[in-house]
């Protein structure tokens, strides 16, 4: 009898504990964190993880969302499109309905198909390929600007701030560079500024003296270069040697300390569109300090975009008092959010209405400052 | 002078500068072809190694606190020529001599293999990223009416012309006046007969590789200083251009290689001057196709022309 009683007590205690755990589990909301945790680009996955975990920690410290604690669950897609599909299916089997990720555009694209079909809310903090949001998805958002926005941003700067007399647009004949150069040229033309020259150079080429002589002959005083730093570095260096002193501007692809190494003094003052350094923004001071206190690096380009992705989700959940992802997606599309990356507002496609890029002026020591 | 002729003059200067370095590299192709009838595809890599050695020596000497630029450049030139020649000689000894007398395709394949090997060897030892050197020879003259068009001629360009002309003159004298040069000419006429007459042809062939490599090293120094950047892959495209120059002038003929290099350089500059510069390579390689179709022996590649 005594024995029976004891075991009954034990059993009831066990039931109680199990009940408690079940209750605690109901209070936790899992957020999937999809990206490369291994493989050659794992450092980008780390940036995303640092941002998401910091956001979750801050939100939980403030009492969670609607009384629920957030929990980040890491899924490794190794930036491999095939593995990304497997990861997406696993996320759905695990019953997770909010995902931050994926990271590489090539992984995000196949995975977003699955999330859209299964009604999982996905916010990518790093994928910049325009085609992801061009399929009319309802569940897919970003907290990062598109690559192609850099073109219109550069054109805007040329028209409104630089106001040069004659512009030349040069590119490296590759998808990235020529795409941006074309969009700059077209947008200038729409505003009545005709590019004096529109030409390609061969990537890997070393001699640009003929091109520079031509730029000089056309009396160009502003050159937009769509491409990467090795060619622009040589163009700058050879321009300085040949006494051609125009203002140069490039996309993110030229923002690299190697540009200053190749061009030396000639790299001083080059303009470039680059993602905003959110860790420099005063509103993130406390967050940067908290991340640093954990011994992690807050300067990566995807840390605060990932942080903002969690904020957007948490805001939507607390405002709608729901975790139904379709409802959340509708809410996100219709509202503004104040986040670590500033005001976030979405267009029909799920892209940010405001660019996360900024025009910077590069310096010969490899640093950059926001352009006036 | 009108704006147009000043512009033309500027493009001519640009074209001759790049053309003279093509010519320097082209000589290595043409000499080897003239004597053993093979295309040494690893030659572009020798030029690239010459450039790397130049960079290392200059950076080292500057780091040691040496300030006199002419002395630095002379030391760099001597070291680069010596090391590149060692590579040239070793490549011949290791990859081509054992295959002498076999089917013509076999040394060619060996040459391509050597080229890939050297490229990857440099990638492994120096890294695959661009290595940059700050401008050493700066400044220049500019002339013409600034309101029309200002032609610039940098000291570096002048240095390229002068060193190329000196090297070419010395090479011509060496080939036409010295005992070794006479042996070279004999080899290109008939290597078997020369051997029978008591000339050590293996030695002459090795010498050809050494001379070609030394000239490629000079080009490596000049272009390295001119552009200020080198990476392990510059040898491929430079080699291809120089090979085109050699074929254009008539492969096997030394004056042909000089002429071919200059023509190719000026053609490229003029194409970029009047058409979008992306057509530069289309025109220069198109020119090669035309020459091969209508004059397969090249501009100066007639049998009676002195070959080496």
Based on the fold, state whether residues A14 and A54 are members of the same structural domain. yes
Q: Could you report the per-residue pLDDT of A70-129, keeping only the tens digit for each? A: 999 999 998 889 999 999 999 999 999 999 989 988 899 999 999 999 999 999 998 888
Please report the pLDDT score of residue B144 as a whole number. Answer: 77
Q: Could you report the per-residue pLDDT of A221-254, keeping only the tens digit for each? A: 999 999 888 899 999 999 988 889 899 999 988 8
Which one of B142, B150, B272 has the shortest CB-CB distance to A214?
B272
Q: Which residues of B touch A207 (CB under 8 A)?
A: 14, 18, 227
Please report the pLDDT score of residue A5 as a whole number. Answer: 54
CA-CA distance, B297 to B301, in Å (whole number)? 5
Domain hosting residue A122, numbered range = 10-144+302-340
Please report the pLDDT score of residue B56 as a whole number. Answer: 95
A49 band by pLDDT with thresholds 50, 70 and 90: very high
CA-CA distance, A174 to A191, in Å (whole number)? 25
- For residues A99 and A122, the answer to whether their CB atoms sit within 8 Å is yes
Instruction: Please check whether residue A283 lies inside any domain of the structure.
Output: no
Residue A148, pLDDT > 90, answer no
Instruction: Please check whether residue B114 lies inside any domain of the structure.
Output: yes
Instruction: Please check whether residue A307 lies inside any domain of the structure.
Output: yes
For residue B269, the distance in angstroms to the closest alpha carbon of chain A comes to 5
Based on the fold, state whether residues A235 and A107 are members of the same structural domain. no
Instruction: Please check whether residue B276 lies inside any domain of the structure.
Output: yes
Which one of A206, A210, A238 has the shortest CB-CB distance to B277?
A210
Please report the pLDDT score of residue B87 as a whole number. Answer: 96
Based on the fold, state whether residues A53 and A89 are members of the same structural domain. yes
- For residues A61 and A88, the answer to whether their CB atoms sit within 8 Å is no
Residue A147 makes CB contacts below 8 A (sequence gap 6+) with A128, A129, A130, A176, A179, A180, A251, A252
Tokens representing A186 are 């077209």
Based on the fold, state whether residues A154 and A99 are members of the same structural domain. no
Q: How many CB atoms lie within 10 A of CB B63?
A: 8
Size of interface A-B (CB pairs under 8 A): 89
Give the rounded percent of residues in chain A with a pLDDT score beyond 70.
93
Whether A216 sits inside 8 A of B149 (CB atoms) is yes
Helices A209-217 and A229-241, interaxial angle, to 10°? 60
Whether A243 sits inside 8 A of B234 (CB atoms) is no
- The candidate with the shortest Cα–Cα distance to B244, out of B268, B222, B209, is B268
Residue B70 makes CB contacts below 8 A (sequence gap 6+) with none
Based on the fold, state whether residues A225 and A363 are members of the same structural domain. yes
Domain hosting residue B53, numbered range = 3-126+164-294
Nearest CA in chain B to A260: B132
Residue A17, pLDDT > 60, answer no
A203 band by pLDDT with thresholds 50, 70 and 90: confident
For residue B148, the distance in angstroms to the closest alpha carbon of chain A comes to 8
Which one of A173, A211, A238 has the shortest CB-CB distance to B272?
A211
CA-CA distance, B153 to B13, in Å (whole number)? 7
Instruction: Please check whether residue A284 lies inside any domain of the structure.
Output: no
Which one of A200, A213, A258 has the shortest CB-CB distance to B276?
A200
Residue B236 makes CB contacts below 8 A (sequence gap 6+) with B44, B45, B115, B119
For residue B4, the distance in angstroms to the closest alpha carbon of chain A comes to 9
Instruction: Please check whether residue B151 lies inside any domain of the structure.
Output: no
For residue B197, the distance in angstroms to the closest alpha carbon of chain A comes to 47
Whether A210 sits inside 8 A of B142 (CB atoms) is no
Based on the fold, state whether residues A19 and A137 are members of the same structural domain. yes
Q: Which residue has the tokens 């492994």?
A: B124
Based on the fold, state whether residues A242 and A327 are members of the same structural domain. no
For residue A229, the distance in angstroms to the closest alpha carbon of chain B comes to 10
Instruction: Please check whether residue B60 lies inside any domain of the structure.
Output: yes
Nearest CA in chain B to A197: B276
Instruction: Please check whether residue B308 lies inside any domain of the structure.
Output: no
Which one of A207, A209, A217 has the shortest CB-CB distance to B7?
A217
For the segment A151-158, the average pLDDT, to the nearest whole number, is 91
Whether B135 sits inside 8 A of A241 (CB atoms) is yes
Based on the fold, state whether residues A154 and A259 are members of the same structural domain. yes
Q: Under DSSP, is residue B119 helix (H, G, I), strand (E, B) or coil? A: helix
For residue B245, the distance in angstroms to the closest alpha carbon of chain A comes to 17
User: Of chain A residues 284-343, which have a CB less than 8 A from chain B?
Assistant: none
For residue B120, the distance in angstroms to the closest alpha carbon of chain A comes to 17
Nearest CA in chain A to B9: A213
Based on the fold, state whether residues A268 and A131 are members of the same structural domain. no
Based on the fold, state whether residues A244 and A365 are members of the same structural domain. yes
A48 band by pLDDT with thresholds 50, 70 and 90: very high
Instruction: Please check whether residue A35 lies inside any domain of the structure.
Output: yes
Q: Please indicate if any CB of chain B lies within 8 Å of the CB of A237.
A: yes
Instruction: Please check whether residue A187 lies inside any domain of the structure.
Output: yes
Q: Which residues of B touch A261 (CB under 8 A)?
A: 130, 132
Please report the pLDDT score of residue B304 as a whole number. Answer: 46
A311 band by pLDDT with thresholds 50, 70 and 90: very high
Tokens representing A242 are 């040949």
Query: The domain spanning residue B24 has which CATH number?
Result: 1.10.3470
**Which of A170, A178, A209 is the mutation pick for testing B, counting most B CBs within 10 A?**
A209
Q: How many CB atoms lie within 10 A of CB A5?
A: 9
Eight-state DSSP code of residue B144:
S
Residue A18, pLDDT > 80, answer no
For residue B277, the distance in angstroms to the closest alpha carbon of chain A comes to 6
For residue A245, the distance in angstroms to the closest alpha carbon of chain B comes to 13
Please report the pLDDT score of residue A277 as a whole number. Answer: 84
Whether A216 sits inside 8 A of B150 (CB atoms) is yes
Whether B233 sits inside 8 A of A204 (CB atoms) is yes
User: Of chain A residues 173-232, which have a CB less than 8 A from chain B?
Assistant: 173, 198-202, 204-207, 209-211, 213-214, 216-217, 230
**Which of A233, A242, A264 is the mutation pick for testing B, counting most B CBs within 10 A?**
A242
Instruction: Please check whether residue B307 lies inside any domain of the structure.
Output: no
Instruction: Please check whether residue A316 lies inside any domain of the structure.
Output: yes
Based on the fold, state whether residues A71 and A189 are members of the same structural domain. no
Residue A14, pLDDT > 60, answer no
Cα torsion through A315, A316, A321, A322, rounded to 10 = -140
For the segment A208-230, the average pLDDT, to the nearest whole number, is 91
Query: What ipTM does the predicted assembly reach?
Result: 0.82
Taking the mean position of all CA atoms in its chain, how far away is CA A16? Answer: 46
- Which segments of chain A does DSSP mark as H helices, in order? 2-26, 42-61, 81-93, 105-118, 149-157, 175-190, 209-217, 229-241, 257-263, 285-293, 303-320, 325-334
CA-CA distance, A259 to A364, in Å (whole number)? 8
Please report the pLDDT score of residue B142 as a whole number. Answer: 84
For residue B110, the distance in angstroms to the closest alpha carbon of chain A comes to 26
Which one of B135, B150, B269 has the shortest CB-CB distance to A243?
B150
Instruction: Please check whether residue A4 lies inside any domain of the structure.
Output: no
Which one of A199, A214, A242 has the shortest CB-CB distance to B152?
A242
A21 band by pLDDT with thresholds 50, 70 and 90: very low
Query: The domain spanning residue A110 has which CATH number?
Result: 3.40.50.2300
Whether B149 sits inside 8 A of A261 (CB atoms) is no
A259 band by pLDDT with thresholds 50, 70 and 90: confident
Based on the fold, state whether residues A226 and A362 are members of the same structural domain. yes
Q: Under DSSP, is residue A370 helix (H, G, I), strand (E, B) or coil? A: strand
Whether A264 sits inside 8 A of B150 (CB atoms) is no
Instruction: Please check whether residue B306 lies inside any domain of the structure.
Output: no
Whether A237 sits inside 8 A of B154 (CB atoms) is no
Give the count of domains, chain B: 1
Whether B130 sits inside 8 A of A211 (CB atoms) is no
Residue A20, pLDDT > 50, answer no
Nearest CA in chain A to B281: A202
Q: Which residues of A touch B272 (CB under 8 A)?
A: 210-211, 214
Residue A3, pLDDT > 60, answer no
Give the count of domains, chain A: 2
pLDDT in tens, chain B (308 residues): 688 888 999 999 999 999 999 999 999 999 999 888 888 999 999 999 999 999 999 999 999 988 889 999 999 999 999 999 999 999 999 999 999 888 888 999 999 999 999 999 998 898 877 888 888 888 888 887 777 788 889 999 999 999 999 999 999 999 999 999 999 999 988 888 999 999 999 999 999 999 999 999 999 999 999 998 998 989 998 999 999 999 999 888 889 999 999 999 999 999 998 888 888 889 988 988 998 898 888 888 765 445 55
């Amino acid at each position: 009898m005594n024995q029976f009683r004891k075991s009954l007590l034990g059993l009831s205690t066990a039931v109680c504990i199990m009940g408690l755990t079940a209750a605690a589990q109901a209070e936790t909301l899992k957020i999937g964190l999809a990206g490369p945790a291994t493989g050659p680009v794992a450092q980008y996955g780390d940036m995303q993880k640092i941002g998401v975990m910091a956001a979750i920690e801050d939100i939980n410290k403030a009492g969670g969302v609607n009384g629920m604690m957030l929990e980040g669950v890491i899924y490794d897609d190794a930036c491999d499109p095939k593995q990304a599909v497997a990861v997406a299916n696993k996320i759905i089997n695990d019953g997770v309905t909010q995902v931050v990720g994926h990271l590489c555009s090539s992984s995000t694209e196949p995975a977003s198909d699955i999330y859209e079909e299964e009604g999982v809310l996905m916010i990518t903090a790093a994928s910049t390929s325009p085609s992801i949001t061009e399929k009319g998805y309802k569940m897919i958002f970003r907290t990062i600007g598109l690559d192609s926005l850099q073109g219109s941003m550069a054109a805007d700067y040329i028209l409104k701030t630089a106001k040069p007399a004659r512009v030349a647009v040069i590119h490296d004949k590759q998808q990235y560079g020529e795409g941006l150069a074309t969009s700059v040229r077209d947008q200038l033309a729409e505003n009545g500024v005709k590019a004096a020259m529109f030409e390609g150079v061969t990537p890997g080429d070393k001699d640009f003296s003929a091109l520079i002589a031509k730029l000089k002959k056309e009396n160009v005083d502003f050159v937009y270069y769509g491409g990467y730093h090795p060619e622009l570095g040589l163009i700058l260096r050879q321009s300085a040697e040949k006494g051609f002193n125009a203002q140069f501007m490039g996309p993110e692809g030229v923002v690299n300390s190697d540009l200053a190494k190749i061009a030396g003094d000639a790299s001083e003052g080059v303009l470039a569109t680059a993602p905003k350094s959110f860790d420099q923004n005063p509103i993130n001071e406390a967050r940067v300090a908290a991340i640093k206190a954990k011994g992690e690096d807050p300067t990566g380009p995807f840390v605060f975009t990932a942080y903002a992705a969690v904020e957007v989700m948490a805001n939507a959940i607390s405002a709608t008092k729901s975790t139904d992802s379709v409802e959340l997606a509708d809410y996100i599309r219709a509202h503004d959010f104040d986040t670590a990356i500033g005001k976030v507002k979405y267009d029909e496609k799920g892209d940010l209405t405001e660019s996360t890029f900024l025009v910077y002026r590069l310096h010969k020591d490899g640093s950059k400052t926001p352009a006036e | 002078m009108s704006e147009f002729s000043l512009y033309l003059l500027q493009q001519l200067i640009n074209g001759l500068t790049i053309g003279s370095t093509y010519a320097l590299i082209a000589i290595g192709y043409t000499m080897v072809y003239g004597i053993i009838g093979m295309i040494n595809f690893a030659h572009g890599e020798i030029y690239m190694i010459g450039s790397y050695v130049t960079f290392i020596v200059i950076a080292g000497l500057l780091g040691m606190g040496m300030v006199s630029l002419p002395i630095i450049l002379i030391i760099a030139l001597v070291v680069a020529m010596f090391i590149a020649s060692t590579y040239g000689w070793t490549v011949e000894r290791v990859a081509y001599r054992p295959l002498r007398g076999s089917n013509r395709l076999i040394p060619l394949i060996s040459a391509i293999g050597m080229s890939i090997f050297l490229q990857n060897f440099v990638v492994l030892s120096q890294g695959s990223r661009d290595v940059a050197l700050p401008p050493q020879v700066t400044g220049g003259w500019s002339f013409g009416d600034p309101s029309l068009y200002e032609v610039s001629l940098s000291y570096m360009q002048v240095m390229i012309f002068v060193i190329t002309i000196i090297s070419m003159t010395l090479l011509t004298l060496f080939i036409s006046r010295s005992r070794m040069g006479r042996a070279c000419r004999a080899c290109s006429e008939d290597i078997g007969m020369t051997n029978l007459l008591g000339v050590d042809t293996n030695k002459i062939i090795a010498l050809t590789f050494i001379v070609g490599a030394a000239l490629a090293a000079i080009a490596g120094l000049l272009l390295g200083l001119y552009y200020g950047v080198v990476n392990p892959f510059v040898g491929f495209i430079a080699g291809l251009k120089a090979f085109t120059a050699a074929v254009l002038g008539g492969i096997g003929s030394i004056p042909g290689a000089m002429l071919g290099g200059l023509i190719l350089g000026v053609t490229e500059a003029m194409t970029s001057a009047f058409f979008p510069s992306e057509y530069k390579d289309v025109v220069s390689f198109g020119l090669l196709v035309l020459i091969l179709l209508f004059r397969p022996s090249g501009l100066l590649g007639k049998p009676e022309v002195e070959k080496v």
